[in-house]
Structure 1
């Protein structure tokens, strides 16, 4: 069988949908990596499972219905591909199917192309769902147009056996409708010899009801349609004159219509049954069928109501006519190419993905602005004195500014795009905040001199030749002529504390005087301070420790307002009021 059309591209649509979901999840939506990765893995697993399952289902369905589809393809080989999708295709199941399909002595056939429809034989009603799916694929996504249930009363031993067969057919039709996603109009064709005339068995016609709307209610409650069928038979009997066959057929037709309502239509449409009621669009009767005697359900029904036993009749010669008149008023469904349907679904998915992308981009942009705003607020609320915290906040601002600048140079990433990007508006605010930062002055530069290399013990006059030790401090002062200089003296704890304090101040003054004379810097830029033995840097319990504590420190002080704190000394001297100035 040539398969030029593959129906709805389910697997391609699954892959397309999964690709959109992954792109949104990983590139656009405001989802953290910790959640996005497992969700993306789940999407991939589900997609692969769906593709594999669909492939297995299609292969299994193809294998199960290979002979049916091969026969259908061979039967319709002469039909154009476009015609086989537009021409009604009816599934036929139920009784006496060989008599309906074996024509012209050409052996058992599964399919038959009539003047108005393609008829496909389904021997087992339980196969209706699988055959329906295969037909839908063969017809380029168009489901079968209906199901004909062939009922031969003489083929059933009792009403109970017939009711059980009807329940099975009803359940199968319900399953097929669910699997196909489309309603399957039902048609009941009753094959029963109504007369004993050999001519009637050869040349018979259909009597019945067919409509473009459901006939369930009509068959149960609208007697006018059924009366019209019986009147048509009675009219034929009147026109036949003395011929007894039409009159006998009219009488038998009235009886079998009542039996059909009770024994066939009831089990198929009873809402109390587990399966969904089978919607019927047509019901017909024909004076044609298998051999019948008093044991058939219909014959027993006649005997129960009238005490009349119908005579036995022989089987009609094959082939029996297919119920073409029943489907002439069948409802027509609008058919759309599955590829066109897939395109519409793809467009709808793209529109939905676009809406999600815009929503996700808006969320990402809001997060960007919120983060920059939070960093700005944190930087502005940190006191100037807390420079380490301000530097950390400043680094966050610089990172925000660099990120936005990178977007401006290299392009905005997808997660911030879709017309939602607002980063350019915050760039001037970040630049202003970054430029407002002023680093604190560096710590004072300090030169420490050993007092014993400058002064004799207990003295405050510079020893001859000791000025070489002051050359380093002099060079530092000359490099920064605009800085103020603090000269501080320190002693060990040997001796009286007051004497040590006075000695430390005197030694600081001696060093200050030499520096003023050697550097030419005004004395107003100098300050002296004596700490005595109050600030040891080593233990006074050892000779080496006491040697370290006897020192003179020369410190460059950054420019500051007039009141410059010089460090919590027991005796602090402002620069303008320092001793010796």
Structure 2
């Protein structure tokens, strides 16, 4: 389940990173694609190595996976019992639970960091409740050098737990000794050194807490010898603990910091010891007497009296850790998104400012550059107006959008100048060429004749209407024949026919004779070949041309019939 949570958080981080790259950061398309691929590859590699590490951790924790861990909502202290932990748990008991604590035995120093890691992984809410109890039973050890080496190994193991328990866990020491005088009626008694109270305190069930000096003065016939022996044992134990225990773990060893116990306690209860143990050697060195060893193996009492004096810390559950990590991811995303939005808005302000600076620097002479710059300002204004109506894009938003304050300067600059009006169009006088009316000669005259037929009036009227529409123009009437007959006859015939048409128009249309010019070309200007009947019919014609000529009707036109 924890692996799935990590995978979901990694997926969430990947999605937020891709969203940040594609939606906010001012990058080109190629840079976005490359960076997105890099993020996907890195996240995939992290997921793979995380899976590998989880697999290795499962193998490493296989021998402690069956440890009886306290429940997630356990409210008491979680104590990892190190050192001489075996006498505290009978028959390989996996744990001991009391009203105030949950005790877990640790047999070897190498197992302590693994158990701490396992607890942090499976019960993250209990990390703040974890402490380390260094159990010391002097009567179980014979070699002082071996005892010191074991203490140093536990010292190193405790320091290694800081990576999993949010720092070095609280350490406290408890010592068990066989009493000098055993009383069957004596209640469980603890000698403690705790913060907030000076000196050694004596704690007995039902009697409360009493300083050691005051406790030693309350002598009576029933317990006088017991208390005197307890005072002697306590003084000897304090000197031994300061030199053999605190002198080892309380000093810095290379890169290992010194450990300062937060509490210390000792209980005088029958303990099964070995021959020539450390305690016998210590007492013999002081008194030349060697205390006897007990032969009764009992489960030693737990130091619950010291649990209230452990430092109070607050733990975080696994669900809360996941929510905190998700909140951290969203916080980082929001931070970088705000930074990207700020950069994008600054770029927008700089771009519009550059366009305004170029526009204001141009004088408008010539107008083309300033008109082009004005068109750029209009494009910026349309873009900002569109964002004002439809909302700014995501990369510029998040409360940092600066486009609205740019609209007024843009519109003011656009309205401050207008291009000069275009020059009036050049009206060119169109000089029209002659306009020609072509009349069929046979529709006007009989063959070889130049007197108008009676049915030619309609054709001449149509031509006269076109001539009257152009008053003041020179009217050139030219006659043409086919190649049938004599050339001289055809020349004279064409001239006479042109004059007949001129006379009719002059008399009928009331057009001055000075407006006419008469020409006869005979057969010299055929339109088509005279080899066919259709060609000869086309060549027999009278052409009336209107020529624009100033004061044409004021001069008497007497052109030579032999000239064009």
Shorter chain as normaliser: what TM range?
A: 0.5 to 0.7
Aligned to 2:406: 426
What are the ranges of 5 or more consecutive residues in structure 2 without an aligned counterpart? 204-209, 436-546, 551-564
Q: 1:101 to 1:272 in 2, by over 3 A?
A: closer
Q: Secondary structure at the match of 2:239?
A: helix
Which structure 2 residues correspond to residues 347-366 of structure 1 after superposition, within 5 A?
A: 347=327, 350=330, 353-354=333-334, 356-366=336-346
Q: Return the alpha-carbon distance in structure 1 between the equivalents of residues 423 and 106 of structure 2.
A: 97
CA shift in 2, pair 1:333/1:302, >3 Å? same
Q: Kindly indicate whether residue 153 of structure 2 is the aligned counterpart of residue 153 of structure 1.
A: no
C-alpha change, 1:212 and 1:336, in structure 2 (3 Å) is farther
The alpha carbon displacement at 1:396 in A equals 3.7
CA distance in 2, matches of 1:274, 1:313: 39
Q: Which residue of 1 aligns with 2:79?
A: 90
Cα–Cα, structure 1 residues 312 and 166, in superposed 2: closer, same or farther, change >3 Å? same
Per-residue deviation, 1:374: 0.9
Cα offsets for 1:342-381 (capped at 9, x unmatched):
5456556645654554443233223212212212322343
2:79 and 2:368 mapped to 1: Cα distance? 85
Instruction: Give the Cα separation in 1 of the matches to 2:29 and 2:289.
Output: 83
Alignment of 1:329-478 (within 5 A): 329-340=309-320, 342-343=322-323, 346-347=326-327, 350=330, 353-354=333-334, 356-382=336-362, 384=364, 389-390=369-370, 393=373, 396-427=376-407, 429-430=409-410, 436=417, 438=419
- Contact map agreement 2:378 2:414 (CA 8 A) in 1: yes
Which of 190, 194, 200 is matched with 1:211 structurally? Answer: 194
The counterpart of 1:289, out of the listed 253, 271, 283, is 271
Conservation of the 8 A alpha-carbon contact between 1:9 and 1:339: no
1:9/1:338 contact within 8 Å kept = no
Of stretches 313-322 and 387-396 in structure 1, the one that deviates more from structure 2 is: 387-396
Paired with 2:425 and 2:145, the residues of 1 have a C-alpha distance of: 112
Give the distance between the partners of 1:519 and 1:56, measured in 2 at CA.
107
Which residue matches 2:302? 322
Paired residues, number:
429
Partner of 2:233: 252
CA distance in 2, matches of 1:47, 1:208: 56
Contact 2:26 2:340 in 1 (8 A): yes
> Residue 259 of structure 2 aligns with which residue?
278
CA contact (8 A) 2:381 2:411 kept: yes
Answer whether contact 2:189 2:202 (CA < 8 A) is retained. Answer: no
* Contact 1:233–1:249 under 8 Å retained in 2: no
1:300 corresponds to which residue? 281
Q: 1:147 to 1:224 in 2, by over 3 A?
A: closer
Report the CA distance shift for 1:408/1:420 in structure 2 as closer, same or farther (over 3 A).
same
- Report the secondary structure of 2:152's partner residue: helix
Displacement, 1:131? 1.1
Does the C-alpha gap of structure 1 residues 240 and 59 become closer, same or farther in structure 2, counting only changes over 3 Å? farther
2:6 and 2:271 map into 1 onto residues whose CA distance is: 44
Task: State the superposition RMSD in angstroms.
Answer: 4.4
- Taking structure 1 as the reference length, what is the TM-score of the superposition? 0.61
Pick from 80, 87, 92 the counterpart of residue 99 of structure 1: 87
Q: Secondary structure at the match of 1:361?
A: helix
Provide, for residues 540-565 of structure 1, a one-character-per-residue CA deviation record: whole Å limited to 9, x for no partner: xxxxxxxxxxxxxxxxxxxxxxxxxx
Give the secondary-structure state (helix, strand or coil) at the position aligned to 1:322: coil
Where do 1:36-115 residues align within 5 Å?
A: 40-72=36-68, 82=73, 85-95=74-84, 97-102=85-90, 107-115=91-99
Deviation at 1:313, TM superposition (A): 0.8
1: CA distance, partners of 2:191 / 2:548? 134
**Aligned residue for 2:172?**
187
* Alpha-carbon distance in 2 for matches of 1:240, 1:49: 74
Q: What is the TM-score when the length of structure 2 is the normalising length? A: 0.63
The equivalent of 1:480 in structure 2 is none
Structure (1 or 2) with the larger CA radius of gyration: 2
| Alpha-carbon distance between aligned partners in 2 of 1:62 and 1:203, rounded to the nearest angstrom | 48
